[in-house]
A and B are shown apart, each in its own frame.
Chain A
Amino acid sequence: MLMTNLNVVGKRVLRQDAYEKVVGGKGFPVNFSLPGMLHGKMLRSPYPHARILRIDTSRAEQLPGVKAVMTPKDVPQIPFNPIFFMPAGSMGIHRDMLILSDTVRFAGQPVAAVAATTVAIAEQALQLIDVEYEELLAVFDPEEAMKEGAPEIHVGVKNNIRDTPSFSAGDVEAGFKDADYIFEGTYETQRVHTCYMEPRVCVSDTDSNGHITIYSSIGHLFGLRERMAYVLGLPVSKVTAVQAPYVGGSFGSKIDFAYIEALSALLSAKTRKPVRFEHTRYEDFICNARHPMKVHLKTGIKKDGTFTARYASTLCDTSAYSTHGPEVILVHAYFGLMLGYRSPHMKWEGTVVFTNNMPGGAFRGYGAPQAAFAVESQIDEICDKLGFDPIEFRLKNTPRQGDPHPFNPEWKLNSYALDECLNKGAERMGWSQRAKTGSASGAKKRGIGMAAHPLWVSGCVGFPDIYEHSGAIIRLNVDGTAYLSSATMDIGSGQNTTLCQIAAEELGLAFDSVRMAPGNTDNLPFDAPTHASRVTYSSGNAVKVAAADAKKNLLEVAATVMEANVADLEVRDGMITVKGSPAQAMSVADVVKRAESPFMVIGAQGPAPTTLKEKGTIMGISSVAPPANASPAVAEFVEVEVDTETGQVKVLRAVYAHDLGRVVNPAAAEGQVEGGLQQGIGFALMEKMLFDPETGACLTSDFLDYKMPTAVEMPSKIECIFIESNEPTGPFGAKSLAEACLIVPAPAIANAIYNAIGVRIRSLPITPEKILAALGKL
């Protein structure tokens, strides 16, 4: 049963940083500076594939104001993988990047770095560095890269094939024989960028013992510490990563190490001065991006609308380095392509290929948007062709509440309301009135489409070798308030506020009595990165456990002071009362004051020895992982208008229905849906990174060339339907939200376009050119 007598959870509270941000946000990492700080800049290779024969830095070093120059020979040659969510030395990841390398594998890879007294001098110094390159043949298309005779990008990696993961259940060939119909199609998605608005920035400082402290815009504090130590060859205790109170967006990008963090530390260690790096927008664009994927689907269907076999293959361009490729393709396969829809026979084969393209990174949805575009488009094709209702069809082939979790049968889908998402969303959109495909008249045609995502995650519990535990510390203050400390990074979506709500609810305090107190890796317990839609569920769980611990300690002191049984006490709204006799009450503040006071109490007769057994600060701590990985469920309905003369598509309306277990903060939840739709419209209709086919240089490295939706491209109303199914393993019933908001929009829009104009476009983005070509007008 959903707890209904909650005071703070579920309330539309004001984000704790809201007022700070509207007056200019002093706490952003980009504002951080230290006295005597130097400024770092990187020299980047103009070639996509080259060997460095010689670097001459002598002229740069003579430039007044230049304090240090670094080339590959000056940096530790310790290969690393930038992903923070796996241990730096994990067997599960490929380590093939270097801070600075003699081999360049993508255009823009750094080859040298400078620290100078001003940015202008650092930039001038870069011009004075002479690099002699031996150009090598480059390859940018993953299919070309696999051919015999293609340039070898990493020594010994045959045909540039990094990995070929696969899985199968049952016998797909037999399944296809059983099928009444077989559908086949290839679906392509493009390289898109997260476009966080605050540039990547960091300041490293080295003390006289060689201890490094780093302030940065990163999305994982402990990952930063671990990776810094690893690449510099230091023990982790020699590095401190400091938590910024807030960061200007990440959407996945900032859960990876970039070059600047290591270079700032090395330059700082050398100069013994703080060194700051800040990316230009161009540098942000080529730092990391979503993996382009080509998905082939073959699906066997029975007349009754059930699957007999599902086969899929995926080609993933992992770029110049392994980074996320081998990992993202697995999440894509299991949680994107295969496990959401039942079939007796399934098979998937993946290929992860090196090219000379810029590094792949994490981006909200992590492989699932690429998968959902394929699966949900094909289901629409099946329903259209065979006359099934897309909602009934989905309900027939998806899991039910109470079913074993398809990823790990030891877990159950305890709370799971895809049916409600589909039915309520359909009703709100007026799905039953949807016009027949292609029946709209006039040049501007309207259409309605939908997509679902039946299975997703609330973190990484169950994935091998991926960090998932979280910790929290709660301290009670003598004024009856509490400080919450957690290494979770609030990258913009308001997690700090959500976590404070969870703490306040558990402690029995008012929302504004709990404040997030930032810390650093020296004084905070470990927390996994802000990714995988995990913070509310997983960090929230740790916060709840810490708060329960603090509450237990609080009530033990209160029981002594109030001469009552601990079991009889309850705390609500900052007051501790004895159950059944509300007159016997004491404020939390008074109890904490007693615990914190010196060993005397002042009574009517003057000072008397205290009778308290528990003395000292009342605290609670935790370090835990949740017992399972609860699946949210989601469906989105959109209405579009396609101008068949210009090929322009406008999204007119969106209805988003999501079973998130429990809404902790409705305002923040709506913000996730609306922001996710902006990114989804971009992915569906306009965003695509382009590169010069000869040089590999990024041609879309600013916001004029990389077009993302502005206010005018957004629908005037985005409607949210939140379904509270009350997940027993989540804090106060909560599951997850963030990523699904970007998984479903693209296929929903593609299906709506099909409904409007009757032509199917199987590659993103669906540009006006593609629409006009599909209509035979180009």
Chain B
Amino acid sequence: MGITATVPGKVHITLKVNGEEMEVSFAPYKTLLEVLREDLGLTGTKHGCELGECGACAVLVDGAPLLSCLTLAIECEGRAIETIEGLANGPELHPLQEAFADLGGSQCGYCTPGAIMTAKALLDNEPEPSSQRIKEAMAGNLCRCTGYQQIVESVEKAAGCCRHAERVKA
């Protein structure tokens, strides 16, 4: 008996990433993390464990933060996926990105995309979180460089900017 690969055939679906419909073929066991990084070339989303324990891979799916390493890509058909690449508007950064850069919320930067996406989900739902609330919301995002202080400060600063922007719009 010859040895054969047990790799199954590919599925072909359309994913909606950062507002854009993207057709993609991939093996059905692939996680959203793998499809984003390997098949769609969106390498902004990172991975620190692929076990759902570090938060580096967090993206938003229908507005909720989701660990892309634990999510099958086929389950995301028809849902709105947001990644770090979708946050800036051309050269104009999202207030969270500005704040993380300005305040040192990003040192090695590896945990940063997951941290920013998690923070975005928080601020989208709770525009005025206390610092304790920010810490709790970010507790699933491990960072080994910053000690979290500058991350929490970045989220606080961004919250202020977001509220300001809302007021200006109103």
Contact = CB atoms under 8 A, between A and B. Distances in A.
A670 interface: yes
A671 B85 contact: no
B14 interface: no
Contacts of B96: 22
A120 B29 CA distance: 10
Interface stretch (B73-81, B110-118, B160-168): B110-118
Contact of A24 (B27, B85, B101, B142): B85
A717 B141 CA distance: 19
Interface string B69-110: 000000000000001110110000100111011111011111
Contacts of A141: none
A197 B144 contact: yes
A671 B46 contact: no
B56 A197 contact: yes
Interface in A1-32: 14-15, 17-26, 28, 30-31
Interface string A193-232: 0111111000000000000000000000000000000000
B48 A718 contact: no
Interface residues of A, number: 64
Contact of B108 (A23, A120, A249): A249
Given A703-B53, A711-B135, A674 B147 contact: yes
Contacts of A199: 47-48
Nearest to A491: B108
A94 B85 CA distance: 47
A28 B108 CA distance: 10
A23 B144 contact: no
A197 B101 contact: no
Contacts of A65: 5
B57 to A, nearest CB: 11
A691 B148 CA distance: 29
Contacts of B53: 702-704
Contact of B46 (A30, A493, A674, A712): A30
A90 interface: no
Contacts of B2: 62
B167 to A, nearest CB: 24
Interface string B119-156: 00000000000010011101111111111111110000
A601 B81 CA distance: 59
A41 to B, nearest CB: 14
A63 B152 CA distance: 50
Contact of B45 (A24, A62, A711): A24
A605 B142 CA distance: 68
Nearest to A667: B104
Given A21-B109, A195-B144, A708-B144, A124 B5 contact: yes
Contacts of A671: 104, 107, 145-147, 150
A143 to B, nearest CB: 32
Given A671-B145, A704-B53, A710 B139 contact: yes
Contact of B93 (A23, A668, A670): A23
A120 B110 CA distance: 25
B49 interface: yes
Contact of A22 (B3, B101, B147): B101
B122 to A, nearest CB: 12
Contacts of B112: 21-22, 25
A247 B144 CA distance: 13
A677 interface: yes
A677 B147 contact: yes
B7 interface: yes
Contact of B106 (A18, A195, A702): A18
Contacts of B107: 492-494, 671, 675
B147 A678 contact: yes
A64 B141 CA distance: 39
B44 interface: yes
A712 B150 contact: no
B77 to A, nearest CB: 22
A247 B51 CA distance: 22
A64 B43 contact: no
A673 B107 CA distance: 12
B54 interface: yes
A280 interface: yes
Contacts of A15: 101, 104, 106
A219 B138 CA distance: 28
A196 to B, nearest CB: 6
Nearest to B52: A704
A492 B104 CA distance: 11
Interface string A687-729: 0000000000000001110001011101011100000000000
Contacts of B84: 22-24
A572 interface: no
Contacts of A31: 43
A124 B27 CA distance: 15
Interface string B13-34: 0000000000000010000000
Given A121-B7, A197-B111, A702 B49 contact: yes
Contact of B116 (A22, A197, A494, A675): A22
A281 interface: yes
A613 B115 CA distance: 55
Given A23-B85, A248-B108, A492 B101 contact: no
A196 B144 CA distance: 6
A210 to B, nearest CB: 30
A508 interface: no
Nearest to B116: A22
Nearest to B152: A711
A714 B7 CA distance: 45
B145 A710 contact: no
Contacts of A511: none
A251 interface: yes
A128 interface: yes
Contacts of A82: none
Of B4, B5, B44, B109, the most chain A CB neighbours within 10 A belong to: B109
Given A22-B93, A120-B27, A198 B88 contact: no
A523 interface: no
Contacts of B83: 24
Interface in B50-64: 50-51, 53-54, 56
B143 A281 contact: no
A611 interface: no
A703 B51 contact: yes
Contact of B145 (A28, A493, A702, A714): A493
B110 A249 contact: yes
B47 to A, nearest CB: 8
Given A22-B101, A31-B43, A120-B27, A197 B142 contact: yes
Nearest to A493: B107
A73 interface: no
A59 B2 CA distance: 9
Contact of A281 (B46, B48, B110, B147): B48
A492 B145 contact: yes
A711 B107 CA distance: 15
B144 A704 contact: no
A19 B105 CA distance: 11
B147 A714 contact: yes
10 contacts: A21-B109, A24-B44, A25-B109, A25-B112, A197-B46, A197-B54, A678-B144, A703-B142, A708-B142, A711-B148
Given A24-B45, A671-B107, A708-B142, 15 more contacts: A18-B102, A23-B93, A28-B46, A30-B47, A59-B3, A63-B3, A196-B108, A197-B56, A199-B48, A246-B109, A491-B108, A493-B108, A674-B146, A702-B49, A711-B135
Per CB-CB distance, the 3 closest pairs between chain A and chain B, nearest first, are: A24-B44, A492-B108, A21-B109
Interface of B: 2-7, 27, 42-51, 53-54, 56, 83-85, 87-88, 93, 96-98, 100-104, 106-113, 116, 131, 134-136, 138-152
